[in-house]
Amino acid sequence: MLAAGQQAPGFELPDQNGEKVKLSDFKGQWVVLYFYPKDMTPGCTTEACNFQEALPDFKNLKAVVLGVSKDSVERHKKFAEKYNLQFLLLSDAENNVCETYGVWGEKSMYGRKYMGINRSTFLIDPNGKIAKVYSKVKVKTHHQEVMEDLKTLQAAEQTK
């Protein structure tokens, strides 16, 4: 998995509307890049709805939220419409970005091992560097943790 201090690898993926989105489109802004296993599942829905609820606060901090999973553009569109998500959901159907960011790996549920996306978030600074990595995500409070860290990092940046 990538670490804080590294340059965030660039990518181009389609969003829920089929539009191509590049990480470089957000240069000069903070980016909350979160990887999640699957649309319409309980944990992923909670995480997405919490980010949606906090979206005005993230926007006030000049940050964008981008969700990434292997789900198709069509499934992302249904997910976004069902829960009125106003941020971009990116489809990594080929699994290239998940592999690059190191979030694809072995998982275990009910004793069964399988490969999947390990829920992770990367907070990327306006210069494209990874400021913080979250690899152990608690979906109910994750958005608050990211928000607090973003405020702290921005305050530290202003005192430089």
Residue 49 known to be catalytic:
no
Annotated catalytic residue within 44, 65, 90, 131: 44
CB 17 within 8 A of CB 6: no
- What is the DSSP pairing of strand 104-109 with strand 112-117? antiparallel
User: Which residues are catalytically annotated?
Assistant: 44
